[in-house]
Amino acid sequence: MIQGLTIALLSILAVIFLIQGYMDIAVLFMTVLFVMTNMFRYRQMKAQGMDREAKWMRGMAIIFGVLFFVVLGTILI
């Protein structure tokens, strides 16, 4: 329930900032969205016993986590 609300909130915020023309902030919210969705998928796949797929999702979440800080750095500098 909370996971769905978090994803919905991040999606709405990304679209709002995109419409307002703040592309950098929209991309920042999209990277957080990708981190959250991949982590939720990781936990779900891990619980279902799909270890190989879960490992892939965890890796993708880590990559997008790093990209979040790259985007944040470009916004702040």
DSSP-derived secondary structure for 16-27 = HHHHHT-HHHHH
* pLDDT at 2 > cutoff 90: no
> Domain limits at 47?
2-76
Residue appearing with tokens 């965890």: 58
CB 7 within 8 A of CB 33: yes
What is the pTM assigned to this prediction? 0.85
* pLDDT at 3 > cutoff 90: no
Give 29: exposed, middle or buried? Use CB within 10 Å, 0-12, 13-18, 19+. Answer: buried
Please count the structural domains in the chain: 1
Residue 74, both tokens: 């470009």
What is the DSSP code (8-state) at residue 49?
Answer: T
Mean pLDDT rounded to a whole number for the chain: 95
